[in-house]
Each structure stands twice: as structure tokens, then as C-alpha cells.
Amino acid sequence: MTPNSLDLLSLYAEQMLEVLEWLSSYGADPEGGVTRLLYTEPWLQAQQALTQKMREMGLEAGFDAVGNVFGKLQGNNLALKSVLTGSHVDTVKNGGKYDGAYGIVASMMALGYLKAAYGTPKRTLEVVSFCEEEGSRFPLAYWGSGHVTGVRSLAGASEIADLEGVTMLEAMQQAGFDTASVSEHPAKREDIGAYIEIHIEQGSVLEYKQKQIGIVTAIVGQIRLTVNVTGTSNHAGTTPMTMRKDALAGAAEMLALTERMALEEGEPLVATVGRLEVKRGTSNVVPGEVEFTLDIRHTDEWKMDAFRARLLAEFEVIAMRRDLHIDTTLNLHASPVAMHEGISAEIEAACDAHGFESMRLPSGAGHDAQLFGPICPTAMIFVPSRAGISHSPDEFTEPADLVAGFQTLIHVLYQYGYG
């Protein structure tokens, strides 16, 4: 890199840190943390502000039909497919300021820097702020990247509702999107040649191994289910213990079994019940209906599916013994995806060139890159998470590591855009 571009680089690195703080103000919770749920006011303001920021970077920026925001640095060789980089703008409830946001801001500032330092690239480079990845408002994840990769369509959105009963379609319309323009058929983009995502690790391996950059080898498979247990609600004082069809007692047995079977299965399998709701729960009523979520992950799809089948069969045994009924809804089945070796080698070379200590590791978290892996060369860059904490207001990454990731991303995008 030429000397003046080094001064320019430190300027953009400083700005990247400032813009990351600025973005976290959209959906900031009074008690700390950030909540930016799909199609809510803080989400819309953040996407609109990012569109404006991208334009200030000299990118052609705007929304697509479902609320993804793209910023394009047009290349001069139109025969070459674009390189897309970015992440998701939505968060979990009371989440951190880096999950998703860092990938968007680092990518946007990287394209701004490359344009300022090197002008028009050979190949178009694009940044994307995906509208939704977490599945934290609606029981559907990857809505943004799923639209771009052709695996999500509006067809199913009208039945999907949040915990207040607002359907995804209604929420989309309330946020000002013309749902009629979102074709019933996926609007898959065919012009993306590669996808590169930079993200916090959300785990503690890099910190433990004292590495500054992670090069992701694969992303785990993921199954997300909603389990509904129904029994009979009844009077807590007059119903003998032996005559109850207690949905919560049954669910509690299922939760304990989930943990026991996951421990017996051993790593890398993980199984989590993140939300449990007692419908019409009242202290003096035997619970008649319970709903809980189940999140199962593994690097091996066959073992993940086999574990789900065994676990649900055991749930049925518990239900039969307690004269309960269970219904399960599959909200997500994402296969494990290997990352592209060619791009990963470029990332490793960038780290070596900059003297950043790097290592290869799998991702236990799902990412938008999971959906691009099957359709184009895809790779991920990780930076360390302090104490491995994420999906929490305590999520934190050292500025020096954020900048190292930023420089690594620039180096790789330069190779693909200008090399």
C-alpha cells in the first residue's frame, strides 16, 4: 500500500470505530444493549441512516423489496460478477453492538476507503445490510439473505406472526414496504460471484488461543423448532396430583431430557431451549398449554437430524405417559456449510502480510454466509469476542482487533476488486 493510503487507512479505521458506535444508538436499550427487530422503528431508522451513510461513501445505495440495503461500488468490467460483503442489521432482544453491525460497518467503510484510495474497481464490490438474520422477532431466520439467495419468499410470511400476533406481512406493510412488489417467487440474484462476511466470533477460542483473526472453516448446521405441549388446565387446589395432565410438568421433563441427551451425545452437538411460555399461566391453575423453542446444532447434518428424531421420539413417550399432546413446528433447517478454501487462503495471506496472528476454526453460530455457501465461493473473517460473550449487552471486541479485521477485509477486497 502506498504511504498516503496508509494515512487514509488510519482515518477510515478511526471512522469505522465511530460509525460502529453511531449505529449502536439505533435501538439502544436504557439498561444497555441494543434491540433492533425486523420492521420496527429503530430497525427502519437504522437502515435509512445506513443508506445515507453509504451514499456519503460514494456508493450507489438503496433498499430492495424486503428491506435489505445495498451499497454498490460499480466496477468497470461488467462481465465480472460482484463481490458482496456485509452482514445483518437486526439484533436479538437486548443484544450487543457488534453482532451483525460490525460486518456492515467494516464492509461499508472498506468500500469507502478503496474508492477513495484506488478509484473504480475492475469488479463491482457491494456492501449489504441484511434486513433480518436472527429470527428474534418472527420464528423465521435469514429473511434478508434468504431473499437474495432464493430460499425465502413472501408465500409463507403471511402466516408467520410475532409474539404480539402481528404477521410478517403486516409488519412489512407497516414499515412501508409494498408487499405486492415482493414476488411470490424468490428474487434470487444471479450476479454475485463471491460473498465475504466479517463478524465477531461470539465464542472464546480466538481469545483463548490469543489470535487476532479467525478464518472460518465451516458453519454448523442448525434446526429450530417450536414445541407445543397441551394437557388440561385445572384447579390447583382440587385436582389430585395423580389426576393431572400438567403441560408444564411434562415440558419440564422434556427440557431436562434435552440437556441430558445433549450431554450424552457430546460436542460439538448443542441443544438449547431459549424461550418457554406457559399459555394463560396463573398461580392457582394447573398449566394446560406450554410452548417452548428448541435450537439444535451440529457440524454433521446426519447426526443433527438423528438427534432431533431421537429427542422428539422421547418427548412422545413422556407425552403418552402423562396423557399430553405435542405438536412441533419446524422453523429452520440450515445445513452445515464449508467455507471456500481459495478465499480463505487470501484471508490467511492478508493476515501474514499484516502480521496478524490467525487460525482456522468452525463457527458455532449461524451467519448469512450459511446461505451463500451453496451458491457461490463464500468465506468468513472472525475477530475475537471478549470472554466469548455475545447476544448480550456485555458483547465486546477490542478496537485493535476490530481494526485488524477491517484491514484484513480491505486487503482481500482489494485483491478481488483491483488485483
In the complex, which residues of this chain contact Mn ion (CB under 5 A)?
Answer: 99-100, 411
Q: How far is the CB of 384 from ligand HGY (least distance, A)?
A: 16
**Partner touching 366 among Mn ion, ligand HGY, none, CB below 5 to 8 Å by kind:** ligand HGY
Q: Nearer to ligand HGY by C-beta: 9 or 369? A: 369
Pick from 416, 405, 7, 61: which is nearest to 206 by CA?
A: 405
Phi, psi of 393, rounded to the nearest 5 degrees = -60, -20
Binding mask 341-380 for ligand HGY (x = CB under 6 A): ------------------------xx--------------
Binding mask 228-267 for ligand HGY (x = CB under 6 A): ----------------------------------------
Q: How far is the CB of 72 from ligand HGY (least distance, A)?
A: 26
Q: Nearer to ligand HGY by C-beta: 111 or 369? A: 369
**Partner touching 404 among ligand HGY, Mn ion, none, CB below 5 to 8 Å by kind:** none
Q: Nearer to ligand HGY by C-beta: 71 or 366? A: 366
- When asked if residue 271 is in the footprint of ligand HGY (CB under 6 A), the reply is no
Site for ligand HGY in 111-140 (CB under 6 A): 133-134
Q: How far is the CB of 168 from ligand HGY (least distance, A)?
A: 17
Chain residues binding ligand HGY by CB under 6 A are: 133-134, 365-366
